[in-house]
Structure 1
Amino acid sequence: MTHFRGKRLPRPGHGRPGTVVAAVIGLVAALGLGAVGQARAAPAERPAPDASRWSDRPHGFASLAGGTTGGAGGRVVTVTDQAALAEYAAAPEPYVIRVRGAITAEPFGAGIEVASDKTIVGVGTSGELVRGEFRLAPGTHNVIIRNMTIRDSAVEGDWDCKETDFDGIQMDTVHHVWIDHNRFSHICDGQLDIRKDSEYVTVSYNRFENNNKTFGLGWTTNVRTQITVDHNWFRDTKQRNPSVDNAAYAHLYNNYLSAQADPGDPVWTYGNWSRGRTRMVIENSFYDHVQHPYQADATAELVQRGSILRDTTGRHDEWGEAFDPREFYAYRLDPAAAVPALVKRFSGPQRRIGDSVTLRVPADHPTVQAAVAAVPDGNDVPVTIAIAPGTYREKVVVPAAKPKIVLQGTGQDRSDTVIVYDTPAAYGGSTGSATVRIAADDVTARRLTFSNDFDEAAHDLDGEQAPAMKTTGDRIVFEDTAFLGNQDTLMTDSPKLTTVSRVYLRDSYIEGDVDFVHGRATTVIEHSVVRALSRGSATNNGYVTAASTWTGNPYGFLITGSRIVSDAPAGTVHLGRPWHPGGEPDAVAQVLIRDTGLPAAVKSSPWTDMSGFSWRDARFAEYRNHGPGAAVTADRPQLGEDAARAYTVAAYLEGTDGWAPHTRP
C-alpha cells in the first residue's frame, strides 16, 4: 500500500483535479457507484438502486491515493472469542476476520489492537464487541471495520465520561481506513475517535446511538485529514455528530440526525461542527429536531446545500468556499427527502454484507488457486472469487474442506476469463491432469471458460485423455461456462461408486471428441450447446458421453432442451457408450437425451459397446429429439410418455434435500 504522505490533494483551482476525477470515475463505474454528484447514467447503464450500498470496496476519500483494501490478499478466518480476535487483528499478515456472535471484552474496556491490512466484518448481523474497543496505533493503515455492533462500554452514571476513556474505535495518525455499516451504542468516551492527522478515511452507513460524545475528529493543529461521512444515522446522541477539528477536507452528505439527546444544554448539544481551520461541505442531509444542526468557527469554512431542516433551532452557520468534493471523487447524492428512509433501511449491520465474502483475482490474490487457499476449511458462508478478465495458466483444486465457493468471471463474456492448463492423463490420471478439480460441495462457476489445451499431435499421441474439469462434489452448478478439450473434457464424478453427487449445467458450451462428457455423477445439461469435434475419420469420430452411473442410482446424465452440433461427417459420431471403470459391473450407464437437436453427424445406431460391456445392458434412451440426426429405430430406445414424466430436470436434481438450481432466475 503506497501512502502519499507528503502529497496534498489539490484544492479547487489548483493542481490538476481533472486527472483525479478521471481516474476515480473509472473506479466508481466499476463499483456501480453511479455518476459524479447528482448526475445520472442512462437507463440502460444505471446500476441497481442498492448497488453502492453493498459494495465491498470503499468510496469517498478512503478510495483515493492507492485505495483501501483491508485484509484483501490474506486468509479468511472466523473468530468467536476475544483471544482469537486479538491474535488475528494484531497479526503482521493481512487477514479477513469474520466475527461470529458477541465477544465480551475482559477486563471491562479492554482494547483490541488492530494492525495494518485487516478487514474485520461481522457474520450476518451477529458480530459484536461488547465492553471493549478497537484501537489503531500510529502508522496503522489499510483497515476496514464493517458490519459490527460495538456497545456497552459506558459506565452507568458517568454520562460525561470523566472517569473513563473507553472508545468504540480509536485511531491516531493512521491512513486509509473505512468504517462502514456498524452500530455504536452506549459507549464512553467517544463512539468513534479519528485523531492526530489521520488521513483518507470514509465513515459510511453506520448507526450512532445512545451516547454523549459521539464522533470526533482532530486533536491536532495540523490541517491534513481528508474524510467522507455519508449515510450515517445519529439518534439519541448529544454532541460531536461529528465534530471536525482542523480537517483539510470534510465531506458530509446524506446523513440523518434525529432524536437529539439532552437538547436543553444550550452549548454542548449540537449536530455538525466545523472547527479550527476545517473546510467542510454538507450536502442533502436531514436534520430532525436538532439544536445547532451545523456550525462553524470563525476560522473554519462550511458550505451547506440541499439539506432539509425540520424544527431545528440555534446555529445554522455557512461561510467560506470550502471545496468541491467532485474535484476528488465521484459519488451518488440521494435526495435529502429520501434520507430518513434510506438510512433507516441500510445503516448498521446488514445480513447481506456479513453473510458473504468476496476475494478478487488478481487484485487481492495473484492466482485463482491462491484465492481458493485463502478460504477457510469448513467454510460456512458463500465466498465469491471474482476473477478479472484474462487467461490464467494454472491448475485449480477446490478441496472438499472448502464448500460454498463461487468462481465468478467478471468479464462480459465467458470467453473473457479462461483457466487453462495442458496436462494429459498419462501424467496423473483424470484427477491429477484436470485443469480444474472441484471436490467440495455447493460450488458454483459462472461466466468462465475451462480448458485443457494439451496438444496430442505435438506429442505424437492419439486419443490421450486431457480433462478440463473434474468434479466430485455434490450440488455443483455451472452457468454460462465453457469446457474446451478433446478426450474426457468434462468429468462429473462422485467420491465413490455408491455416493450420488449432482451437477447442473445451464447456458453452457462443451466440446470434445472422445467420451468428453463422462463420469458417475447425476448430471443435467440444459439449454446448452454440446459440440462433437471431428477427428478426421470417415467412420468414427468419437463418443459424446461415457456414463458410469451406479446401478442403484436411477439418474445419470440428462441432456435436455439443448443442441448437439458437429462438423464431423454424417453418421460418424456416437451419442455414448457404457463406461465400467476397472470392469466394475455395478457401474451401469444411464443417459437420456431429450428435446434436443441432433446433427447429421450422429450415427444411425448411436450407442455402442465399451470394453466388453454391451450398450444394450445400459440405460440409454431418447425422447422427442429433433434435427437431421434424430430418428426412431430398434437401435435407438425411446422413452415412453409415462416414463418421460419421471425423468425431468427436477427428478434428476432434487433428491431428498430439494436442491433446485434450475428454478433460480
Structure 2
Amino acid sequence: MSSRRTLIAAAALCAAAATTGLPAAPATAWPGPSVTVAADGSGDFTSVQAAVDAVPPGNPGPFTIKLRPGVYRGQVIIPADKPHIVLRGQGADPSQVVITDNRANGTPKPEGGTWGTSGSASVTISGDDFSARNLTFANDFDEAAHPEITSKQAVAVLTRADRLVFDNVRFLGNQDTLYVNSPDATTVSRVYFRKCYVEGDVDFIFGRATAVFDRCEIRSLNRGSATNNGYVTAASTSIANPFGFLIVGSKLTSDAPAGTVFLGRPWHPSNDPNAIAQTVIRDSTIGAHIGAAPWTDFGTWSWRDARYGEFHNRGPGATVTADRPQLTTDQAAGATIDAYLTGWHPQR
C-alpha cells in the first residue's frame, strides 16, 4: 500500500475508533498510523504543519510523524483537538532534524500589530499526550540584525497541554526559548523533559506549567556582560499548584563569567498576585556562572516570596549561602519526579 493510501486508511481507522470507542488498529509497524515528512519531497509531506493538518481530529492513539533529516522552517501549530501526536526525528542525533522559525514578540504582523510573545513561538502545542524525540526546536530570530525591534522575546516552543514528553530534544533560542504553560491559570499541565538540551539567556524556561527536567543540560548563553548574563527560569506557578519546575540530575552550564547568571526570578503575568513561582533544583551540577545569590527580584516582586529551593547540588556554582534556600530531607522526599507528575508515569 502506498504512503498516501496508508494515510487515508489510517485516518479512516482513527475516525472509526472515535465513533465506536474502539482503539485504532495499527496501519504500519509503528504503534498506530504514521506519515513521513521530508524536505526533499521523498516523503508524504514536505512541511511539518501539513502532516499535522492531516491528523484526524480526536484521534484516540499515537499518530507518528516521522521527520527525515533537514531544516523545516515555518510555524507549527498543534491544536487541542489533535492529541497523541508523536514527532520523531529520523536523524542520527537531534541536530539533524530542525524545526525553526524567526519571529519575535515585536516582529510586525502582515495584517498589522506585532506577534507578541505567545505568537512568536515556532511551535505551539495544545494537544494532550504529545511527544517528541530526537529532534531540535529553535527560534533563530537574530536580535543583532533587528535593532528596530525592542521586544525581543522569541519562543522556540510553547506548550499548553497535559502529559507531554520530550526525549533527547534540543531547544534553541535566546530570550524566552521554552514557554511551558497551560490552557488557563486554574488548569495544571504536566511536561516531562528527558535527556534534553535547553539554551537561552533571559527567562529562557518560563511559564506556569508543572515541568520536570530529568538529566538535562540547561545552558545559559553569554550575553557579553560583566555583571548580568540573564536568568535561567521565570516560573509563574499558580499559588494553588504546589509543583512548578523541577530540575533533577541535570547540568547547568555556561561560558559566561563567574557569578553573572541567576537561577531565576518570579514572573507575575499581568501582575497576577496569585502567580507564585515554584522551582526546585536538586542533585544537579551547577557551573561557576551561577553566583552566591542566585535568585533575584522581578520588578517589584521579591524572590523571597517565591517558592525556591535546592537540595544536594554540586559544582562551583552550588555553594550554599544564606541567599540559597535549601530543602530539608523531609521536604526533598516530597520533591521528586513522581510527586511533580502526580500519577502520570512517562517512560524514563
Inter-partner Cα distance in structure 2 for 1:443 and 1:102: 22
1:101 and 1:431, CA in 2 relative to 1: closer, same or farther beyond 3 A? closer
Q: 1:71 to 1:500 in 2, by over 3 A?
A: same
Quote the residue 2:314 is aligned against.
626
1:507 aligns with 2:190: no
What residue is the counterpart of 1:69 in the other structure?
3
Match of 1:582 in 2: 270
1:378 aligns with 58
Aligned to 2:261: 573
Give TM-score, length-normalised by structure 2: 0.91
Do the aligned residues in 1 keep the contact of 2:216 with 2:251 (CA within 8 Å)?
yes
- Which residues of 2 match residues 238-387 of structure 1 at below 5 A? 356-362=32-38, 363-387=43-67
2:156 to 468, 472, 479: 468
| Aligned twin of 2:136 | 449
> Structure 1 residue 437 and structure 2 residue 117: aligned?
no
Counterpart selection for 1:659 from 330, 344, 347:
344
The answer on whether the counterparts of 1:532 and 1:544 sit within 8 Å (CA) in structure 2 is yes
Structure 1 gap segments, 5+ residues each = 1-57, 59-67, 80-96, 104-121, 126-145, 147-351
CA RMSD of the aligned region, Å? Answer: 2.2
Tell me: CA distance 1:550–1:360, structure 2 relative to 1, closer, same or farther (3 Å).
Answer: same
Give, in whole Å, the separation in 2 of the partners of 1:606 and 1:597: 14
Partner of 2:110: none
Q: What displacement does 1:611 show?
A: 2.2
Hey, what's the Cα distance between the residues in 2 that align with 1:530 and 1:543? 11
Whether the 8 Å CA contact 2:279–2:308 is kept in 1: the answer is yes
Equivalent residue in structure 1 for 2:249, among 554, 558, 561? 561
CA displacement, residues 37-89 of structure 1 (integer Å, 9 cap, x when unaligned): xxxxxxxxxxxxxxxxxxxxx6xxxxxxxxx334256695336xxxxxxxxxx
Per-residue CA distance 1:138-178 (angstroms, 9 max, x = gap): xxxxxxxx7xxxxxxxxxxxxxxxxxxxxxxxxxxxxxxxx
Unaligned runs of at least 5 residues, structure 2: 107-113
CA distance 1:101–1:518, change in 2 (3 Å): closer
The answer (yes or no) to whether the contact 1:463–1:487 under 8 Å persists in 2 is no
CA contact 1:124–1:354 (8 Å) conserved in 2: no
Aligned to 2:74: 394
* Mapped contact 2:18–2:60 kept (Cα < 8 A): no
1:448 alignment partner, SS class: strand
Check conservation: 1:361, 1:371, Cα contact below 8 A: yes
Residue pair 2:64, 2:86 contacting (<8 A) in 1 also: yes
User: Is residue 2:24 matched to residue 1:123?
Assistant: yes
- CA separation of 1:632/1:462 partners in 2, compared to 1, >3 Å: closer, same or farther? farther
**Structure 1 position 428, deviation (Å):** 1.4
- What secondary structure does 1:616 align onto? helix
In 1, distance between residues paired with 2:162 and 2:46? Answer: 28
Q: How does 1:106-117 map to 2 (within 5 A)?
A: none
What is the Cα deviation at residue 359 of structure 1? 1.1
Q: For residue 335 of structure 2, what is the aligned residue in structure 1?
A: 647
1:384-413 superposed Cα distances (whole Å, 9 cap, x missing partner): 000100000111011000000001001110
Letter in 2 for 1:401: D
Aligned to 1:582, the other structure's residue is in SS state helix
Structure 1 equivalent of residue 176 of structure 2: 488
Residue 478 of structure 1 aligns to a residue whose secondary structure is: strand
Contact 1:124 1:353 in 2 (8 A): no
Instruction: Give the Cα separation in 2 of the matches to 1:543 and 1:549.
Output: 17
CA displacement at 1:498 relative to structure 2: 1.3
- Identify the range of structure 1 (353-362 vs 429-438) with the bigger mean alpha-carbon deviation: 353-362
Q: Structure 2 vs 1, CA of residues 70 and 435 (structure 1 numbering), >3 Å: closer, same or farther? A: closer
Structure 2 counterpart of 1:407 = 87
Against the structure 1 CA distance between its residues 585 and 99, is the aligned structure 2 distance closer, same or farther, given a 3 Å change threshold?
closer
The number of residue pairs the alignment matches comes to 334
Deviation of residue 429 (structure 1)?
A: 1.6
The 8 Å contact of residues 210 and 340 in structure 2, kept in 1 or not, is answered as: yes
Q: Greater shift after overlay, 478-487 or 455-464? A: 455-464
Residues 388 and 543 of structure 1: CA distance in aligned 2, closer, same or farther (over 3 Å): same
Instruction: Kindly provide the amino acid, as one letter, of the partner of residue 116 in structure 2.
Output: G
3-state secondary structure, aligned to 2:51: helix
Cα deviation for residue 603 of structure 1 reads 1.6
- Given that 1:477 and 1:505 are in contact with CA atoms closer than 8 Å, whether structure 2 keeps it comes out as yes
Partner of 1:533: 221
Match of 1:607 among 295, 318, 338: 295
* Maintained 8 Å contact 1:74/1:374: no
Give 1:430 shift: 2.4
Matched residue, 1:236? none
- Cα deviation, 1:338-392, whole Å, max 9, x if unaligned, reads xxxxxxxxxxxxxx86961101103011210000000111111210000100000
CA distance in 1, matches of 2:19, 2:178: 45
Shift of 1:462: 6.1
1:10 match:
none
Q: 1:585 to 1:441 in 2, by over 3 A?
A: same
Which structure ranks higher in relative contact order (CA pairs < 8 Å, sequence separation ≥ 6)? Answer: 2
**Secondary structure of the residue that 2:316 maps to in structure 1?**
coil
- Alpha-carbon distance in structure 1 between the residues aligned to 2:153 and 2:66: 30
Structure number, greater radius of gyration: 1
The offset of 1:478, in angstroms, is: 0.3
Equivalent residue runs for 1:176-215 within 5 Å: none
2: CA distance between counterparts of 1:583 and 1:99? 47
The structure-2 alpha-carbon separation of the partners of 1:609 and 1:482, relative to structure 1 and needing over 3 Å to count, comes to: same
Q: 1:98 offset after TM fit, Å?
A: 6.0
Once the two structures are superposed, the pairs formed by residues 75-90 of structure 1 within 5 Å of their partners are: 77-78=11-12
Name the SS of the counterpart of 2:35 in structure 1: strand
Secondary structure of the corresponding residue to residue 425 of structure 1: coil
Q: Letter of the 2:146 partner, please give it.
A: H
The whole-number CA distance in structure 2 between the counterparts of 1:412 and 1:373 is 27
TM-score norm. by structure 1 comes to 0.48
Shift of 1:583: 0.2
Taking a change above 3 Å as real, the CA distance of residues 660 and 425 of structure 1, as seen in their structure-2 partners, is: same
Cα distance per residue 1:214-265 (max 9 Å; x no partner): xxxxxxxxxxxxxxxxxxxxxxxxxxxxxxxxxxxxxxxxxxxxxxxxxxxx
C-alpha displacement at 1:570, in angstroms?
Answer: 0.6
Identify which range, 569-578 or 353-362, moves more after superposition.
353-362
Aligned residue type for 1:356: G
**Closer, same or farther in 2 for the Cα pair 1:462/1:561, shift >3 Å?**
farther
| Contact 1:519 1:546 (8 Å CA) reproduced | yes
Distance of aligned partners of 1:102 and 1:414 in 2 relative to their CA distance in 1, 3 Å threshold? closer
CA distance in 2, matches of 1:69, 1:466: 36
| CA distance in structure 2 between the partners assigned to 1:76 and 1:69 by the alignment | 10
